[in-house]
Protein backbone atom coordinates (compact mmCIF):
# COMPACT_ATOMS: atom_id res chain seq x y z
CA UNK A 1 0.00 0.00 0.00
CA UNK A 2 1.45 3.31 -1.08
CA UNK A 3 2.42 5.88 1.51
CA UNK A 4 0.79 9.29 1.31
CA UNK A 5 3.16 12.06 0.28
CA UNK A 6 2.76 15.64 -0.94
CA UNK A 7 6.06 16.56 -2.53
CA UNK A 8 8.31 13.85 -3.94
CA UNK A 9 11.82 13.92 -5.41
CA UNK A 10 12.12 11.21 -8.06
CA UNK A 11 15.35 9.72 -9.43
CA UNK A 12 14.87 10.27 -13.15
CA UNK A 13 16.63 8.73 -16.15
CA UNK A 14 14.50 9.93 -19.04
CA UNK A 15 13.40 6.36 -19.87
CA UNK A 16 9.77 5.26 -20.17
CA UNK A 17 9.58 3.69 -16.71
CA UNK A 18 10.76 6.69 -14.73
CA UNK A 19 8.71 8.99 -16.97
CA UNK A 20 5.55 6.99 -16.26
CA UNK A 21 6.34 7.26 -12.55
CA UNK A 22 5.53 11.00 -12.78
CA UNK A 23 1.82 10.81 -13.77
CA UNK A 24 1.44 7.58 -11.78
CA UNK A 25 2.58 9.23 -8.54
CA UNK A 26 0.20 12.12 -9.12
CA UNK A 27 -2.86 10.32 -10.47
CA UNK A 28 -2.79 7.06 -8.56
CA UNK A 29 -1.07 7.98 -5.35
CA UNK A 30 -2.26 11.56 -4.97
CA UNK A 31 1.15 13.21 -4.89
CA UNK A 32 0.81 16.99 -5.40
CA UNK A 33 4.28 17.77 -6.75
CA UNK A 34 6.83 15.53 -8.43
CA UNK A 35 10.34 16.99 -8.64
CA UNK A 36 12.77 15.01 -10.79
CA UNK A 37 16.53 14.75 -10.67
CA UNK A 38 18.73 13.20 -13.37
CA UNK A 39 22.44 12.74 -12.80
CA UNK A 40 25.22 12.91 -15.33
CA UNK A 41 27.64 10.13 -14.43
CA UNK A 42 29.42 10.17 -17.74
CA UNK A 43 26.85 8.02 -19.54
CA UNK A 44 26.74 10.46 -22.46
CA UNK A 45 23.02 11.37 -22.26
CA UNK A 46 21.80 14.74 -23.47
CA UNK A 47 20.71 16.20 -20.14
CA UNK A 48 18.76 19.21 -21.33
CA UNK A 49 16.34 17.06 -23.31
CA UNK A 50 15.94 14.77 -20.29
CA UNK A 51 15.19 17.79 -18.12
CA UNK A 52 12.45 18.94 -20.53
CA UNK A 53 11.06 15.43 -20.87
CA UNK A 54 10.32 15.30 -17.15
CA UNK A 55 8.46 18.62 -17.33
CA UNK A 56 6.44 17.33 -20.32
CA UNK A 57 5.50 14.28 -18.27
CA UNK A 58 4.14 16.52 -15.52
CA UNK A 59 7.03 17.20 -13.16
CA UNK A 60 6.68 20.49 -11.28
CA UNK A 61 10.45 21.04 -11.34
CA UNK A 62 13.14 19.12 -13.13
CA UNK A 63 16.78 19.21 -12.13
CA UNK A 64 19.85 17.74 -13.77
CA UNK A 65 23.33 17.73 -12.32
CA UNK A 66 26.83 16.71 -13.21
CA UNK A 67 28.08 14.23 -10.61
CA UNK A 68 31.04 12.86 -12.54
CA UNK A 69 33.69 14.41 -10.33
CA UNK A 70 32.35 13.17 -6.97
CA UNK A 71 31.57 9.84 -8.66
CA UNK A 72 35.19 9.31 -9.59
CA UNK A 73 36.86 10.94 -6.58
CA UNK A 74 34.61 9.76 -3.76
CA UNK A 75 33.34 6.45 -5.14
CA UNK A 76 35.59 5.03 -7.88
CA UNK A 77 38.94 5.91 -6.29
CA UNK A 78 38.08 4.32 -2.92
CA UNK A 79 36.99 1.22 -4.86
CA UNK A 80 40.38 1.14 -6.59
CA UNK A 81 42.20 1.58 -3.26
CA UNK A 82 40.13 -1.32 -1.91
CA UNK A 83 40.64 -3.49 -5.04
CA UNK A 84 36.89 -4.02 -4.85
CA UNK A 85 35.63 -6.92 -6.95
CA UNK A 86 32.25 -8.42 -6.10
CA UNK A 87 32.48 -12.22 -6.12
CA UNK A 88 36.08 -11.74 -7.19
CA UNK A 89 35.18 -10.26 -10.56
CA UNK A 90 32.70 -7.38 -10.86
CA UNK A 91 34.24 -3.97 -10.03
CA UNK A 92 30.86 -2.50 -8.98
CA UNK A 93 30.59 0.08 -11.76
CA UNK A 94 26.79 0.27 -11.42
CA UNK A 95 26.63 -0.28 -7.66
CA UNK A 96 28.99 2.61 -6.89
CA UNK A 97 26.72 5.15 -8.57
CA UNK A 98 23.64 4.47 -6.47
CA UNK A 99 24.68 5.87 -3.08
CA UNK A 100 25.84 9.05 -4.82
CA UNK A 101 22.51 9.52 -6.60
CA UNK A 102 20.72 8.78 -3.32
CA UNK A 103 22.82 11.40 -1.50
CA UNK A 104 21.99 14.00 -4.14
CA UNK A 105 18.26 13.22 -4.04
CA UNK A 106 18.24 13.63 -0.27
CA UNK A 107 19.94 17.00 -0.58
CA UNK A 108 17.38 18.18 -3.14
CA UNK A 109 14.51 16.88 -1.02
CA UNK A 110 15.80 18.92 1.93
CA UNK A 111 16.28 22.04 -0.19
CA UNK A 112 12.78 21.76 -1.67
CA UNK A 113 11.08 20.75 1.55
CA UNK A 114 9.90 17.45 0.06
CA UNK A 115 8.41 14.78 2.30
CA UNK A 116 9.35 11.77 0.16
CA UNK A 117 11.86 10.25 -2.25
CA UNK A 118 11.07 7.94 -5.16
CA UNK A 119 12.76 5.74 -7.74
CA UNK A 120 11.61 3.67 -10.69
CA UNK A 121 13.41 0.40 -9.88
CA UNK A 122 11.56 -2.88 -10.12
CA UNK A 123 11.33 -5.39 -7.29
CA UNK A 124 13.84 -7.86 -8.66
CA UNK A 125 17.11 -6.01 -8.82
CA UNK A 126 19.86 -4.75 -6.56
CA UNK A 127 19.36 -1.07 -7.30
CA UNK A 128 16.08 -0.83 -5.36
CA UNK A 129 17.94 -2.22 -2.34
CA UNK A 130 20.77 0.29 -2.75
CA UNK A 131 18.42 3.27 -3.09
CA UNK A 132 16.07 2.28 -0.28
CA UNK A 133 18.84 1.46 2.18
CA UNK A 134 20.81 4.61 1.34
CA UNK A 135 17.68 6.76 1.70
CA UNK A 136 17.04 5.19 5.08
CA UNK A 137 20.62 5.82 6.19
CA UNK A 138 20.70 9.45 5.09
CA UNK A 139 17.14 10.58 5.68
CA UNK A 140 15.11 8.19 7.82
CA UNK A 141 12.46 10.90 8.18
CA UNK A 142 11.60 10.87 4.45
CA UNK A 143 9.11 8.42 2.96
CA UNK A 144 10.20 6.26 0.04
CA UNK A 145 7.79 5.70 -2.84
CA UNK A 146 8.48 2.91 -5.33
CA UNK A 147 5.76 2.94 -8.01
CA UNK A 148 7.42 0.57 -10.50
CA UNK A 149 7.77 -2.03 -7.77
CA UNK A 150 4.07 -1.91 -7.09
CA UNK A 151 2.15 -1.00 -10.22
CA UNK A 152 2.23 -4.52 -11.70
CA UNK A 153 2.04 -3.27 -15.32
CA UNK A 154 3.68 -5.13 -18.20
CA UNK A 155 5.97 -3.17 -20.50
CA UNK A 156 3.12 -2.70 -23.02
CA UNK A 157 0.76 -1.53 -20.29
CA UNK A 158 3.39 0.88 -18.97
CA UNK A 159 3.84 2.38 -22.44
CA UNK A 160 0.07 2.63 -22.93
CA UNK A 161 -0.34 4.28 -19.52
CA UNK A 162 2.37 6.80 -20.42
CA UNK A 163 0.73 7.61 -23.76
CA UNK A 164 -2.43 8.68 -21.93
CA UNK A 165 -0.32 11.39 -20.32
CA UNK A 166 1.58 12.41 -23.43
CA UNK A 167 4.67 10.32 -22.77
CA UNK A 168 5.72 9.12 -26.21
CA UNK A 169 6.29 5.40 -26.76
CA UNK A 170 9.97 4.63 -27.42
CA UNK A 171 10.65 5.40 -31.09
CA UNK A 172 13.21 2.75 -31.89
CA UNK A 173 12.41 -0.91 -31.44
CA UNK A 174 13.51 -1.65 -27.92
CA UNK A 175 16.81 -3.47 -27.66
CA UNK A 176 16.40 -6.85 -26.00
CA UNK A 177 19.04 -5.89 -23.46
CA UNK A 178 18.83 -3.95 -20.22
CA UNK A 179 21.85 -1.69 -20.09
CA UNK A 180 23.17 0.51 -17.31
CA UNK A 181 26.11 2.73 -18.10
CA UNK A 182 28.32 5.44 -16.67
CA UNK A 183 31.92 6.56 -17.00
CA UNK A 184 33.15 3.43 -15.20
CA UNK A 185 31.51 0.95 -17.49
CA UNK A 186 28.47 -0.80 -18.89
CA UNK A 187 26.30 -3.54 -17.37
CA UNK A 188 24.31 -5.58 -19.88
CA UNK A 189 21.70 -8.20 -19.07
CA UNK A 190 18.46 -9.82 -20.28
CA UNK A 191 17.34 -10.83 -23.78
CA UNK A 192 19.42 -13.64 -25.27
CA UNK A 193 21.90 -13.33 -22.37
CA UNK A 194 19.36 -14.92 -20.04
CA UNK A 195 20.48 -18.28 -21.40
CA UNK A 196 23.79 -18.75 -19.57
CA UNK A 197 25.02 -20.95 -22.42
CA UNK A 198 24.52 -18.24 -25.07
CA UNK A 199 27.69 -16.31 -25.85
CA UNK A 200 27.27 -12.52 -25.90
CA UNK A 201 26.91 -11.09 -29.39
CA UNK A 202 29.49 -8.49 -30.34
CA UNK A 203 26.64 -5.90 -30.50
CA UNK A 204 26.41 -5.75 -26.69
CA UNK A 205 29.85 -4.17 -26.36
CA UNK A 206 30.60 -0.50 -26.81
CA UNK A 207 33.69 0.32 -24.75
CA UNK A 208 35.94 -2.60 -25.63
CA UNK A 209 37.24 -3.99 -28.92
CA UNK A 210 36.82 -7.62 -29.86
CA UNK A 211 39.98 -9.72 -29.98
CA UNK A 212 39.82 -9.50 -33.79
CA UNK A 213 39.53 -5.70 -33.80
CA UNK A 214 42.21 -5.16 -31.15
CA UNK A 215 45.57 -3.99 -32.53
CA UNK A 216 47.99 -6.69 -33.60
CA UNK A 217 50.80 -4.98 -31.73
CA UNK A 218 50.99 -4.93 -27.93
CA UNK A 219 51.12 -1.60 -26.11
CA UNK A 220 52.92 -0.89 -22.87
CA UNK A 221 51.31 1.45 -20.38
CA UNK A 222 52.67 2.86 -17.13
CA UNK A 223 50.33 3.84 -14.33
CA UNK A 224 51.59 5.91 -11.39
CA UNK A 225 49.93 5.94 -7.97
CA UNK A 226 50.23 8.27 -4.99
CA UNK A 227 48.79 7.15 -1.67
CA UNK A 228 46.86 4.45 -3.55
CA UNK A 229 45.22 6.83 -6.03
CA UNK A 230 46.09 6.65 -9.72
CA UNK A 231 47.64 9.99 -10.71
CA UNK A 232 49.42 9.59 -14.05
CA UNK A 233 49.43 7.43 -17.16
CA UNK A 234 52.57 7.14 -19.28
CA UNK A 235 54.23 9.94 -17.35
CA UNK A 236 51.39 12.42 -17.84
CA UNK A 237 49.67 13.66 -14.67
CA UNK A 238 45.90 13.54 -15.10
CA UNK A 239 42.95 14.69 -13.04
CA UNK A 240 40.76 11.79 -11.87
CA UNK A 241 38.16 12.08 -14.64
CA UNK A 242 40.71 12.36 -17.46
CA UNK A 243 42.64 9.48 -15.94
CA UNK A 244 39.61 7.17 -15.98
CA UNK A 245 38.83 8.21 -19.55
CA UNK A 246 42.39 7.53 -20.66
CA UNK A 247 42.45 4.14 -18.91
CA UNK A 248 39.11 3.26 -20.55
CA UNK A 249 40.44 4.23 -23.94
CA UNK A 250 43.71 2.30 -23.70
CA UNK A 251 42.31 -0.86 -22.13
CA UNK A 252 39.18 -0.74 -24.30
CA UNK A 253 41.21 -0.41 -27.49
CA UNK A 254 43.02 -3.65 -26.65
CA UNK A 255 39.84 -5.47 -25.69
CA UNK A 256 40.63 -5.71 -21.98
CA UNK A 257 37.85 -5.40 -19.41
CA UNK A 258 35.04 -7.71 -20.47
CA UNK A 259 33.37 -9.87 -17.83
CA UNK A 260 30.75 -12.56 -18.38
CA UNK A 261 29.44 -13.87 -15.08
CA UNK A 262 26.62 -15.42 -13.12
CA UNK A 263 26.26 -13.28 -10.03
CA UNK A 264 24.31 -13.63 -6.82
CA UNK A 265 21.87 -10.78 -6.38
CA UNK A 266 20.88 -9.42 -3.00
CA UNK A 267 17.29 -10.62 -3.53
CA UNK A 268 18.44 -14.22 -3.64
CA UNK A 269 18.49 -15.00 -7.34
CA UNK A 270 21.35 -15.66 -9.72
CA UNK A 271 21.58 -13.51 -12.82
CA UNK A 272 23.79 -13.54 -15.87
CA UNK A 273 25.47 -10.21 -16.46
CA UNK A 274 27.98 -8.96 -18.98
CA UNK A 275 30.18 -6.07 -17.92
CA UNK A 276 32.72 -3.99 -19.68
CA UNK A 277 34.75 -1.88 -17.31
CA UNK A 278 38.10 -1.50 -19.06
CA UNK A 279 39.70 1.38 -17.17
CA UNK A 280 38.50 0.41 -13.71
CA UNK A 281 39.72 -3.18 -14.07
CA UNK A 282 43.07 -2.02 -15.43
CA UNK A 283 43.56 0.38 -12.53
CA UNK A 284 42.57 -2.22 -9.93
CA UNK A 285 44.98 -4.71 -11.46
CA UNK A 286 47.83 -2.20 -11.38
CA UNK A 287 46.95 -1.08 -7.86
CA UNK A 288 46.89 -4.66 -6.54
CA UNK A 289 50.32 -5.21 -7.99
CA UNK A 290 51.71 -2.07 -6.40
CA UNK A 291 50.37 -3.21 -3.04
CA UNK A 292 52.27 -6.49 -3.47
CA UNK A 293 55.44 -4.44 -3.70
CA UNK A 294 54.74 -1.92 -0.97
CA UNK A 295 52.71 -3.58 1.79
CA UNK A 296 53.87 -6.14 4.38
CA UNK A 297 52.63 -9.73 3.97
CA UNK A 298 50.39 -9.85 7.05
CA UNK A 299 48.78 -6.53 6.22
CA UNK A 300 48.08 -7.71 2.67
CA UNK A 301 46.42 -10.86 3.98
CA UNK A 302 44.14 -8.90 6.30
CA UNK A 303 43.38 -6.34 3.64
CA UNK A 304 42.29 -9.00 1.13
CA UNK A 305 39.65 -10.23 3.58
CA UNK A 306 38.36 -6.74 4.21
CA UNK A 307 38.33 -5.98 0.49
CA UNK A 308 35.89 -8.81 -0.07
CA UNK A 309 33.72 -7.58 2.79
CA UNK A 310 33.77 -4.02 1.38
CA UNK A 311 32.76 -5.23 -2.09
CA UNK A 312 29.87 -7.21 -0.57
CA UNK A 313 28.72 -4.18 1.43
CA UNK A 314 28.75 -1.90 -1.61
CA UNK A 315 27.00 -4.48 -3.79
CA UNK A 316 24.39 -5.06 -1.10
CA UNK A 317 23.52 -1.40 -0.67
CA UNK A 318 25.40 -0.74 2.56
CA UNK A 319 27.64 2.09 1.36
CA UNK A 320 26.43 4.29 4.22
CA UNK A 321 27.14 1.89 7.05
CA UNK A 322 29.42 1.79 10.08
CA UNK A 323 31.23 -1.34 8.85
CA UNK A 324 31.99 0.24 5.49
CA UNK A 325 33.26 3.39 7.22
CA UNK A 326 35.49 1.33 9.50
CA UNK A 327 36.98 -0.63 6.59
CA UNK A 328 37.61 2.68 4.81
CA UNK A 329 39.56 3.77 7.87
CA UNK A 330 41.73 0.65 7.68
CA UNK A 331 42.26 0.99 3.94
CA UNK A 332 43.18 4.66 4.19
CA UNK A 333 45.92 3.90 6.71
CA UNK A 334 47.39 1.25 4.41
CA UNK A 335 47.37 3.47 1.33
CA UNK A 336 49.87 5.98 2.66
CA UNK A 337 52.61 3.60 1.45
CA UNK A 338 51.13 2.70 -1.92
CA UNK A 339 53.28 4.95 -4.08
CA UNK A 340 54.94 4.00 -7.34
CA UNK A 341 54.62 2.83 -10.88
CA UNK A 342 53.23 -0.26 -12.56
CA UNK A 343 53.98 -1.20 -16.14
CA UNK A 344 51.49 -3.37 -18.02
CA UNK A 345 51.33 -4.79 -21.51
CA UNK A 346 47.97 -4.57 -23.26
CA UNK A 347 47.44 -7.13 -25.95
CA UNK A 348 44.42 -8.90 -27.42
CA UNK A 349 42.12 -8.82 -24.39
CA UNK A 350 44.85 -9.11 -21.78
CA UNK A 351 46.59 -6.68 -19.47
CA UNK A 352 49.74 -8.30 -18.13
CA UNK A 353 51.87 -6.69 -15.44
CA UNK A 354 55.45 -6.62 -16.68
CA UNK A 355 57.14 -4.20 -14.29
CA UNK A 356 56.82 -2.37 -10.98
CA UNK A 357 58.75 0.29 -9.15
CA UNK A 358 58.33 2.24 -5.94
CA UNK A 359 60.95 4.77 -4.95
CA UNK A 360 59.52 5.64 -1.59
CA UNK A 361 58.08 2.46 -0.15
CA UNK A 362 59.20 -0.70 -1.94
CA UNK A 363 59.69 -3.60 0.45
CA UNK A 364 61.61 -5.50 -2.18
CA UNK A 365 65.25 -5.46 -1.04
CA UNK A 366 67.51 -6.82 -3.75
CA UNK A 367 70.30 -7.78 -1.30
CA UNK A 368 67.72 -10.01 0.43
CA UNK A 369 66.08 -11.43 -2.71
CA UNK A 370 69.08 -11.87 -5.00
CA UNK A 371 70.78 -15.15 -5.84
CA UNK A 372 73.83 -13.16 -6.95
CA UNK A 373 77.10 -12.20 -5.26
CA UNK A 374 75.69 -9.36 -3.16
CA UNK A 375 73.30 -11.66 -1.31
CA UNK A 376 73.08 -10.58 2.36
CA UNK A 377 70.38 -12.98 3.48
CA UNK A 378 71.68 -15.10 6.38
CA UNK A 379 71.31 -18.63 5.01
CA UNK A 380 72.51 -20.24 8.24
CA UNK A 381 69.66 -18.71 10.26
CA UNK A 382 67.24 -20.68 8.11
CA UNK A 383 68.25 -23.90 9.86
CA UNK A 384 67.19 -22.82 13.35
CA UNK A 385 64.07 -21.19 11.99
CA UNK A 386 62.99 -24.36 10.19
CA UNK A 387 63.84 -26.53 13.25
CA UNK A 388 61.29 -24.63 15.33
CA UNK A 389 58.80 -24.03 12.49
CA UNK A 390 58.63 -27.77 11.75
CA UNK A 391 58.74 -28.90 15.39
CA UNK A 392 54.98 -29.43 15.89
CA UNK A 393 54.75 -31.41 12.64
CA UNK A 394 57.61 -33.71 13.67
CA UNK A 395 56.07 -34.28 17.10
CA UNK A 396 52.68 -35.03 15.61
CA UNK A 397 54.17 -37.39 13.08
CA UNK A 398 56.25 -39.29 15.67
CA UNK A 399 53.12 -39.99 17.70
CA UNK A 400 51.18 -41.14 14.65
CA UNK A 401 53.93 -43.51 13.58
CA UNK A 402 53.67 -45.27 16.88
CA UNK A 403 50.04 -45.85 16.03
CA UNK A 404 48.80 -44.22 19.23
N1 LIG B 1 24.05 -6.46 -11.69
C2 LIG B 1 24.68 -5.16 -11.61
C3 LIG B 1 24.58 -4.61 -10.22
O4 LIG B 1 23.72 -5.00 -9.49
C5 LIG B 1 24.12 -4.20 -12.63
C6 LIG B 1 22.68 -3.83 -12.46
C7 LIG B 1 22.09 -3.05 -13.60
N8 LIG B 1 22.24 -3.80 -14.80
C9 LIG B 1 21.55 -3.61 -15.93
N10 LIG B 1 21.90 -4.34 -16.92
N11 LIG B 1 20.59 -2.77 -16.03
O12 LIG B 1 25.38 -3.79 -9.85
Q: In angstroms, what CA-CA distances link 289 with 146, 152, 338?
A: 43, 48, 10
Closest CA to 58 of 12, 104, 93, 94: 12
3-state secondary structure of 233: strand
Query: Is 178 a known active-site residue?
Result: yes
- Ligand 1 neighbourhood includes 126 CB (under 6 angstroms): yes
Beta bridge partners of 341: 224, 357
CATH fold of 178-295+337-357 reads: 3.90.1260
> Which listed CATH number (3.30.70.1230, 3.30.70.380, 2.30.30.140, 3.40.50.620) goes with 7-164?
3.40.50.620
Query: Is 127 a known active-site residue?
Result: yes
Query: Is 17 a known active-site residue?
Result: yes
Neighbours of 364 (CB within 10 A): 12
- pLDDT per residue of the chain (404 residues) written in tens, 0 to 9: 567 899 999 999 999 999 999 999 999 999 999 999 999 999 988 899 999 999 999 999 999 999 999 999 999 999 999 999 999 999 999 999 999 999 999 999 999 999 999 999 999 999 999 999 999 999 999 999 999 999 999 989 999 999 999 999 887 767 899 999 999 999 999 999 999 999 999 999 999 999 999 999 999 999 999 999 999 999 999 999 999 999 999 999 999 999 999 999 999 999 999 999 999 999 999 999 999 999 999 999 999 999 999 999 999 999 999 999 999 999 999 999 999 999 999 999 999 999 999 998 999 999 999 999 999 999 999 999 999 999 999 999 998 887 66
- Ligand 1 neighbourhood includes 93 CB (under 6 angstroms): no
Burial 39-66 (b: 16+ CB within 10 A, else e): bbbbbebebeebbebbeebbbbbbbbee
- Ligand 1 neighbourhood includes 128 CB (under 6 angstroms): no
Query: Is 369 a known active-site residue?
Result: no
Which residue has the CA at smallest separation from atom 1 of ligand 1? 273
Amino acid sequence: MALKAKKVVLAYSGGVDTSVCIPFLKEEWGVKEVITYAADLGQGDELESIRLKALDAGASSSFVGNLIEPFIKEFAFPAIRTNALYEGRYPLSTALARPLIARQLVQIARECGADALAHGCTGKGNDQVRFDVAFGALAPELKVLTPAREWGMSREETIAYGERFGIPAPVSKKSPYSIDLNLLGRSIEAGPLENPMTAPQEEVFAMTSSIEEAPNDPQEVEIAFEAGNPVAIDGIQLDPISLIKKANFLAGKHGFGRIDMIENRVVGIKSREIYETPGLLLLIKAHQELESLTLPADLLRSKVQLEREWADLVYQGLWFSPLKDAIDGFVNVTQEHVNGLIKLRLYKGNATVIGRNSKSSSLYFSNMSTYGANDQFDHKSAEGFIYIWGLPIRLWSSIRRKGI
